[in-house]
Amino acid sequence: MFDRLVLPFRRPALQRFVAVHPPSRQVSRADGELIAAYEGILPDSLLELWRRKGLGFYGDRQLALIDPRPWQSVLNRWIVSPSDDVRRIPIVLTPFGVLLYYRKLTATDEDVAFIDPVSKRTSDLAWSLDEFFNRFLCDEQSLESLISPALLRSAREECGALSSGEVYEIDQMLFSMQMLRIAKVDAFEMHRRLRDAVDPPRPTAEKPTTVADALPVEHRSTFENIADGQDLAGLYLSSYSDWHRLLALRPDGRYSLLFWRIHYRSLERVDVRFYTGTYEISRNAEGDEIVELDIILRAGSSGGDDNDDRLVVMHSGGASFLLRIHDLDHIATAIGGWDEMGRSEYYFRRITLDEAFPEESDDSLPAPPFADLPRVLQVLVHVEPLRPTITHVEEPDLDEEDDGEGTVMCTLDLGEEDGLRFNMPLYSPPDTDRQLKGWVWKMAPHACKVGVKYRRGEDGAIEHGPAVGDILTTRAPGER
């Protein structure tokens, strides 16, 4: 009889790709919202790679695994999909801006193809996603057909390694005269500029000046004449980047929730999703008002559409806010570190339809006084910043270094039960002569691990890096 059950070890499906092209130190694991958005749409093997390793640069060639969401509109402009309803999802970007995308052709067939924004050429590369990662990208001859080693070497020598969001661009006019000039440029802007040169887009909708103007026409009447009294009934807006959400709480206990995006060129209202149902207002044990929306997802819903299902009310300075309970830890980290509310997608602000529509999302909204915060948020905010001490520094991973710079894992004397949170930034306090910065990467009750940046000098020795006894703090430099 066996005294214990030994489970078989299962290698990740894309392990060969990871072995040939190890993830760089910039790679970060995908969050649950992104994974949920593509479950059942992208193959499980890619979602597993996102979950275990993450998005960012892989290997010496800096193959960038990308978040498909911001790149989807870029790909859609290059390739006008026929009426076959084949979904095309961008997944990888090469150092020279070639965009690789996944296609689900039939119930059993798939492939990976590319679009070159410079040559405008497109073709398929592999007949399955796993084959593309584990065979095509791991075969030197195949990979060289996609990324020229000579050009990549010249680009590195002239411009240095790429940073997140960058690609190399070759001056095509000089290149045609057998002269090579390469620059690092923003990847999005290069694609948009080259696509605009082919078919310049023209605005087909009006630029919004008020909140009412910004709404999709077919939904404007839904949000008109909403009673705006002393209670919570009214309109609440959340804008982040080009994404917007408008929530209407009606006096009769029903809500309307609208998601939409305003296209940066055409100004068309796109990616519209609408939910309606009932809501309830209650109080938690601490006395905070809680708004609960009965959000029922359906076919066509995006991952995270139900993150607004529980909101906590905050009143401050004559303004009213609804804070996502799902994101309170992020708000608390921003308040504790920078005295700001954090990303504007974390909360709704009470508005009226005739208010001016914000041209840009405000991610630097000052935090309200501590007394105005709901109690459920107060307990997460560190009024006095935490000051963990480094108790152990691991050996740096030389394979993860980039031009003498890297990130080394350090153990702290504080943990999750002491108030540290995953991905919380930590800094050297101003009362020290250190300038360290890192992020909490591995959780533990009383000994979290933090990745801290280091840099080597010309002699190869670490001249700027963490040491046992270094103190870190949750308060950003320059803040009170």
Q: In this structure, are residues 327 and 348 in contact, taking their beta carbons and an 8 Å threshold?
A: no
Could you report the per-residue pLDDT of 152-162, keeping only the tens digit for each? 998 998 888 99
Could you report the per-residue pLDDT of 166-181, keeping only the tens digit for each? 999 988 876 766 667 8
Q: Is the pLDDT of residue 21 over 70?
A: yes
Instruction: Spell out the domain ranges in the chain.
Output: 15-198, 211-378, 390-464
Burial of 87 (0-12, 13-18, 19+ CB in 10 A): middle
pLDDT confidence bin for 3, thresholds 50/70/90: very low
| Exposure b/e, 104-126, CB count within 10 A at least 16 = b | beeeeebbbbbbbbeeeeeeebb
Average pLDDT over residues 428-445: 88
More confident: 100 or 12: 100
Q: What is the pLDDT of residue 7?
A: 44
Q: What is the pLDDT of residue 422?
A: 82
Q: What is the pLDDT of residue 9?
A: 45
Instruction: Pick the range with the lowest mean pLDDT from 91-100, 113-122, 296-305.
Output: 296-305
Could you report the per-residue pLDDT of 251-269, keeping only the tens digit for each? 999 999 999 988 777 888 8
Average pLDDT over residues 382-387: 86
Which helix (H) or strand (E) is 65 found in, with range? strand 63-65
Q: Is the pLDDT of residue 342 over 90?
A: no
CA 113 to chain centre: 24
Q: Is the pLDDT of residue 84 over 60?
A: no
Q: What is the pLDDT of residue 30?
A: 92
Average pLDDT over residues 408-424: 91
More confident: 182 or 178: 182
Average pLDDT over residues 69-98: 86
Q: What ranges in 372-416 are assigned the alpha helix state H?
A: 375-378
Name the residue among 341, 326, 346, 337 with its Cα closest to residue 372: 341
Mean pLDDT highest for which of 28-32, 88-92, 164-168, 366-370?
88-92
Q: What is the pLDDT of residue 230?
A: 67
More confident: 231 or 249: 249
pLDDT confidence bin for 207, thresholds 50/70/90: confident
Place of tokens 């009143």: 315
Across the chain, mean pLDDT equals 88
Q: What is the pLDDT of residue 243?
A: 86
More confident: 38 or 300: 38
pLDDT confidence bin for 206, thresholds 50/70/90: confident
The rounded distance, in Å, linking the Cα atoms of 155 and 357 is 42
Place of tokens 């963990």: 388
Across 213-371, the runs of DSSP E, i.e. the strands, are 234-240, 243-249, 254-262, 269-283, 289-293, 310-316, 319-324, 347-351
Average pLDDT over residues 86-112: 92
- Residue 370 β-bridge partners: none
Q: Is the pLDDT of residue 35 over 90?
A: yes
Percent of the chain with pLDDT over 70: 93
Q: What is the pLDDT of residue 479?
A: 52
Residues written for the chain: 480
Name the residue among 421, 451, 448, 447 with its Cα closest to residue 436: 451
Q: What is the pLDDT of residue 373?
A: 95
Q: What is the pLDDT of residue 369?
A: 92
Q: Are strands 87-93 and 63-65 parallel, antiparallel or unpaired?
A: antiparallel
pTM, two decimals, is 0.57
Average pLDDT over residues 145-151: 90
Q: In this structure, are residues 379 and 455 in contact, taking their beta carbons and an 8 Å threshold?
A: no
Q: What is the pLDDT of residue 229?
A: 67
Burial of 468 (0-12, 13-18, 19+ CB in 10 A): exposed
Percent of the chain with pLDDT over 90: 55
